[in-house]
Amino acid sequence: MKVAIAGRANVGKSTLFNRLAGKRLAIVDDTPGVTRDVREAPGRLADLSFDLIDTAGFEGADAQSLEGRMWNHMAAALAEADVFLFVVDARAGVTPLDEVLAQDVRRRGKPVVLVANKAEGRSGDLMSLDAYSLGLGDPIALSAEHGDGLPDLRDALADAFALIEGHDSAEEEDGGLDPGRAISMAIIGRPNVGKSTLLNRIIGEERMLTGPEAGLTRDAIAVEFTAGEQRFRLVDTAGLRRRAKVVEALEKASTGDTIRALKYAEAVAVVLDATQPFEKQDLQIIDLIVREGRAVVIALNKWDLVEDRDRTIKAAREAASRLVPQASGVRVVPVSALSGRGIDKLLETVVEAVERWSVRISTGRLNRWLEGALSRHPPPAVGGRRIKLRYMTQAKSRPPTFVAFCSRPDDLPAAYKRYLVNGIREKFDLPGVPIRLHLRKGDNPYA
Ligand code: GDP
């Protein structure tokens, strides 16, 4: 990716260039008429790498002058850019020249990240608001000098790159679900907990069966149905195609099939028998699903057989939080496959679980939280030296996957990692979601 830094003189383009290029390049000679070339350098911001193009010194020159010819030279370089960082001075506000240059940049039809520079300190965000008037989207409040706002810049750049690569970043950005999209789910559990009864009930007359959908792959089939507004695709791997056979095939799912079904499912309803919940095999199954990183919900089946319901649900929720710490807070929904009670609630809970599982947390929010978490409970010293942790970013969703930069990733105790994961889960309201945290070597990727 080629990222060009554009904007009028003195807004701080070179400072930003130097910060992103990670090292001080030769000081620019600003004497008029001195030949300058467009500066290019490899740039880096946290986990992103790109080529940087700087345009400092060519701003707004008269076309006939030497600088004007340089401007044309620069225009050629700009034509190669994939993304523009358009910089304005937040303290000075938007000037008429900003407007002219913004228009030029906008006309190039490339993604533009609007940077309101010199927005250091607490009033920075407020000052940056003026830049909205340029019509280039949300300004990123930044201080290239002090390094404030770089996490937000990282996210904006990552979005721009995703846009160019043709990813559908809009859906991912907000988390949440595309309303028309079917959620693919699997129903998994040990024998005799009532999976096939539940399946029959779910795709029974009350819900609209819109499948089966042939050809998902050679060894997987799916039944589509709609509950409320939401489409679901119930995935199974028995390999049969004929509609009449689907239910029967789903019933026969063996363990090997179960594991394969997981591959195609975003969400899993794990079925437990309410009269014998959380047996060893149940826990193994849940652990497998969590390790695969799926959104998970527990269906506590045969609820009709339960007498003391208050006590049973309490005990089940307590057992879930104790025995399934990898997905702490996983939702437990009582159902009766026999009577159909609780199934709508189960499907609603699956939708919520998938929404949470698809969450996108901005780097800015994440790091504001991280700062507090680190000061409340600093990383330990190992071998006499304190481990430094700086900056975290969400690398992907489904499941939410985070990268933290750490001075000695291999030495950070597992307990501290758990502290961070649990902190993320609590702060960003992700109960029951498998959360992945990777540590990368590096002190401060934004330094
Ligand atoms: P699977 O092996 O997990 O697919 O379990 P099945 O669906 O074959 O059910 C096993 C047994 O449990 C059958 O006798 C079902 O009738 C019974 N069963 C399933 N769901 C319920 C339920 O909600 N309530 C009661 N009382 N029995 C159920």
33 lines ligand 1 (CB under 6 A): no
Q: What mean pLDDT, rounded, does the chain reach?
A: 80
Which atom number of ligand 1 is nearest to the Cα of residue 200?
7
Which atom number of ligand 1 is nearest to the Cα of residue 271?
3
Task: Return the half-sphere exposure (C-beta side, CA atoms, 13 A cut-off) of residue 315.
Answer: 11
149 C-beta neighbours (distance < 10 Å), count: 25
192 lines ligand 1 (CB under 6 A): yes
> How many Å apart are CA 321 and CA 346, to the nearest integer?
19
Which atom number of ligand 1 is nearest to the Cα of residue 335?
23
Give one DSSP letter per residue of 367-410, joined into a string. HHHHHHHHHHSPPPEETTEEPPEEEEEEEETTTTEEEEEES-GG
Query: Does the structure show a pLDDT above 70 at 27?
Result: no
Distance between Cα 194 and ligand 1 center (Å) = 3
Would you say the C-alpha torsion 368, 372, 377, 381 has a positive or negative sign? positive
Residue-wise pLDDT for 178-211, tens only, equals: 666 788 888 888 888 888 788 878 876 445 444 4
- pTM of full prediction above 0.75: no
Give me the percent of the chain exceeding a pLDDT of 90. Answer: 33
194 lines ligand 1 (CB under 6 A): yes
pLDDT value of residue 83: 94
Residue-wise pLDDT for 381-409, tens only, equals: 988 898 998 888 888 888 898 988 888 98
Query: Does the structure show a pLDDT above 50 at 29?
Result: no
15 C-beta neighbours (distance < 10 Å), count: 17
Residue-wise pLDDT for 128-151, tens only, equals: 777 877 878 778 989 998 888 887
Residue-wise pLDDT for 226-243, tens only, equals: 888 888 888 754 432 333
Which atom number of ligand 1 is nearest to the Cα of residue 336?
23
190, 193, 195, 197: which to mutate for ligand 1, most atoms within 8 A of CB? 197
Distance between Cα 343 and ligand 1 center (Å) = 14
Distance between Cα 340 and ligand 1 center (Å) = 12
Residue-wise pLDDT for 231-280, tens only, equals: 888 875 443 233 344 444 444 444 555 666 676 788 999 999 999 999 99
Residue-wise pLDDT for 287-332, tens only, equals: 888 888 899 999 999 999 999 999 999 999 999 989 998 888 999 9
Task: Give the closest residue (by CA) to ligand 1 atom 17.
Answer: 194
pLDDT value of residue 117: 94
pLDDT value of residue 284: 87
Give the residue carrying structure tokens 């502290």. 419
